[in-house]
Structure 1
């Protein structure tokens, strides 16, 4: 006797098959980057939604700015004028130091460092959770952005690009638990490795011996190791050191220089040997 409804595979069989397919896809993606076009398409697909989500905030900001009084505008203009004069003075000193450094490198026979190319991007979305601290910016593959690219703000290093869409990119913050960055102290030139703690304003230095000469208040700079972040950019400042002899290493905490919970604009960096170079608006894609 034939039944009206044919019974398919059991739920357990379906679960095993789904898990096997999932592991197979993860393995293929890890080895061959086969899912990269799919991620690029999905990131591009949600871009309009992200722009629509920030549209009310942008309209409200524009509406409030239009009602600024003349006194406020004059005060802001004077503040910007003073800031411009200060930066012009710093630029003159920087030019002198650059020329002096160039002469010293020529005397030592060292290779000259090529200047980094930069592009400003705007933060359009924020994902700050215990297990994922990320930003979404309004620049993507069409602008030459690539995975692993260094991202800064006006204070120091913010993070690095994790995923790239056509018009947007997702930035992994340095405070994320999965992120680590090699550093060196400005005062003693001691190398260290900083890892995110999951807290937006806290980093932890890993494998620091009890005999370290690091001190509270030391400024930590990017060391340039790993070929991800350029050397010499501010990253964090040490805020606490706990030397417990019962533990194999000292506990060293540091706070990021950048205010990661208030980032509005970021700076993307391209080094001379990067796989891609910036594509500015109006510039033909070479």
Structure 2
């Protein structure tokens, strides 16, 4: 009973002893290598406890990530299925429209548009000049490329090849002040010419009488009349229409669909397939 109420050393003495032990351990840790080895052994001994303690959190986090990933995959899968269904429906309509278009062209005595060969090319260099807009691509005669072939990208018409080497070619962009392309307005079918004025983001539409039905927002497509660019590819959108009664023609400006100052990859077209289609029709007749 008396041993129960016996007290140990005073609190002050305990504090002094604890401080002395701490200082001694810090001294040993600082100036000897044995403490490092002891710490390494202790860390190795208790590392399984760390793994065991963090295991529930890791399992929960991993399960949450898998659940989130699965939900994202399900959502993306659903969106892709919807998009595929819509594209299938559009493809059916496109096939019908192509058939109707070929019938109409046959009645009118013109050749159907046949998709020809395409080749992907990368832009190697850009000629920086205030008015001359040209680029160099990494395809040449070794790839079957020739002068005057049309160049497009995913947005629309880019330009045409003006010189060819074995492994590279030079392309004249539609914004160059020496370039012109035959176009037609998608809404009304009016045919005209769009020429470059030395600005990356602007073309001038010329020779349009004041009575022409054209307005801002009209899409200009390649008409195919110049014999260089296949019909139907987007070229530019009309952004300005000015009618001046003192002038014989209206002033019209259009913005190219392609960002000509930042193109990286382009498609080289072989429009000769239209000639083959014409010859095939003549042979059948």
- Give the corresponding residue for 1:186: 186
Gaps of 5+ in 1: 1-70, 276-286
TM-score by length of 1: 0.63
- Give the corresponding residue for 1:138: 138
For 1:132, what is the secondary structure of its paired residue?
coil
- Give the corresponding residue for 1:26: none
- Residue deviations 1:139-163, cap 9 Å, x none? 1111111111100001110100011
**Who wins on radius of gyration, i.e. which is larger?**
2
Deviation at 1:106, TM superposition (A): 5.1
8 Å contact 2:111–2:274 — kept in the other structure? no
- Residue deviations 1:171-216, cap 9 Å, x none? 1110000001111101111111111010101000112222221111
Following TM superposition, where does structure 1 have runs of at least 4 consecutive aligned residues deviating by more than 6 angstroms? none
Deviation at 1:114, TM superposition (A): 3.2
1:35-50 correspondence to structure 2 within 5 Å: none
Deviation at 1:259, TM superposition (A): 1.3
- Give the corresponding residue for 1:229: 229
Query: Cα RMSD over matched residues?
Result: 3.0
For 2:204, what is the secondary structure of its paired residue?
strand
**Residues 251 and 96 of structure 1: is their aligned pair in 2 closer, same or farther, counting only changes over 3 Å?**
same
Gaps of 5+ in 2: 1-68, 276-285
For 1:208, what is the secondary structure of its paired residue?
coil
**Residues 137 and 91 of structure 1: is their aligned pair in 2 closer, same or farther, counting only changes over 3 Å?**
farther
For 2:115, what is the secondary structure of its paired residue?
coil
- Residue deviations 1:253-274, cap 9 Å, x none? 1000111122111111102369
**Residues 126 and 83 of structure 1: is their aligned pair in 2 closer, same or farther, counting only changes over 3 Å?**
farther
- Give the corresponding residue for 1:60: none
**What CA distance in whole angstroms lies between the structure 2 residues aligned with 1:219 and 1:265?**
23
More helix by share: 2
